[in-house]
Amino acid sequence: MKKLFLAVSAFSLMAAAAFAFDGSPFLSVAPGVTSYTKTDYSVTTKFGEYYRTPSVKYQHVFNERGQEVESYEYTATNTLVDKVIYEYNDQGVLLSQTCYDPKDIMLWKIVSTFDDKGKKKEDSEFGKNNVLTGKVIYKYTDAKTSEEASYNGDGALQWKIIYTYNDKGLVLESNTYSADGALEEKKVFQYNTLDYVTEISSYNEHEIFTGRELYHYNDKNQLTEYTTYGPDNQISTREFYKYDDKGNLIKTTVYSVAKKFGTSVNEIIDMSDFAYEY
């Protein structure tokens, strides 16, 4: 199961939880849900027909407050791969995430610390034998996260992200820098009138456009389509989302878009189903 923070920023994680539905914890569920299972499928084609085969399963378990407390990863044959246990304080703030293998041996742990105003100061990651393997330190300006800096276990800077905000407090731009201070990537965000992100444009270290992401919503403000574009501004993938009548996500389907046989072709490359328990 993926570690949650050392490779990506907090805003990226929020976007993943809100939009990507990729098996990460904290997917919003309807009241009363005690758990859900996400099944990912590999997709193949034979004689022009699509066939899907289960590849991996994730189970997410919630407490009576609707907080995720456990998550499990299984193979397609229901063999446990690993599990993550989440711990909260009395105010419902996530304090730690600990991953174990099938023999209950700790693989990694992430511990969060906060200042006296409740703002997160650090995320520290520990490997086996509780050895510190990395740390992200957060800085704030005007109550907003202005900077995230990631360090390895020896305290050496790995990357830094600096954020700017609009007058509504929404992320307007993020700039990711390498340890030597050179720009690696720039992202620019756009929103609709309800403050839902609608577009993210990406640029490389030379501030040359490299791609963009578009988010489409229905009249219930549910994400229905996530579309990515390459540096040529042509569609590369489309991901569609379906929901049940309680608002729970029940299916995602990903298509690769390419020019084939003289026309634009949408080919299924990934599928996931979600099943809920109450």
* The predicted structure's pLDDT at residue 160: 97
Percent of the chain whose predicted confidence (pLDDT) is above 90 = 79
For residue 238, give the nearest of 222, 254, 214 by alpha carbon.
254
- The Cα 43–Cα 220 span in angstroms is 30
pLDDT tens across 201-249, in order? 999 999 999 999 999 999 999 999 999 999 999 999 999 999 999 999 9
The model's confidence at residue 26, banded by pLDDT at 50, 70 and 90, is low
Say yes or no to pLDDT of 113 above 90.
Answer: yes
User: What average pLDDT does range 44-53 have in this prediction?
Assistant: 84
How many helices, marked H, and strands, marked E, lie in the chain? 1, 18
Q: What is the mean pLDDT of the chain?
A: 89
The model's confidence at residue 15, banded by pLDDT at 50, 70 and 90, is very low
* The predicted structure's pLDDT at residue 14: 38
* The predicted structure's pLDDT at residue 244: 96
The model's confidence at residue 137, banded by pLDDT at 50, 70 and 90, is very high
* The predicted structure's pLDDT at residue 143: 84
| Of 29 and 181, the one with more pLDDT | 181
* The predicted structure's pLDDT at residue 21: 38
How far CA 10 is from CA of 7, 121, 171, 203, 263, in Å, comes to 10, 12, 12, 19, 39
Q: Which two three-digit tokens encode residue 88?
A: 């909260």
- The Cα 85–Cα 97 span in angstroms is 6
Q: What is the DSSP string of 218-253?
A: -TTS-EEEEEEE-TTS-EEEEEEEEE-TTS-EEEEE
User: What average pLDDT does range 104-126 have in this prediction?
Assistant: 95
User: What average pLDDT does range 80-105 have in this prediction?
Assistant: 94
User: What average pLDDT does range 100-108 have in this prediction?
Assistant: 96
- The Cα 246–Cα 31 span in angstroms is 9
Say yes or no to pLDDT of 81 above 90.
Answer: yes
Which phi and psi angles does 67 have, rounded to 5°? -95, 140
User: What is the pTM for the complete model shown?
Assistant: 0.86
* The predicted structure's pLDDT at residue 263: 79
Give the largest CA-CA distance in the chain: 63
Percent of the chain whose predicted confidence (pLDDT) is above 70 = 91
The model's confidence at residue 78, banded by pLDDT at 50, 70 and 90, is very high
The model's confidence at residue 47, banded by pLDDT at 50, 70 and 90, is confident
For residue 210, give the nearest of 183, 182, 240, 191 by alpha carbon.
183
| Of 172 and 4, the one with more pLDDT | 172
The model's confidence at residue 5, banded by pLDDT at 50, 70 and 90, is very low
Say yes or no to pLDDT of 265 above 90.
Answer: no
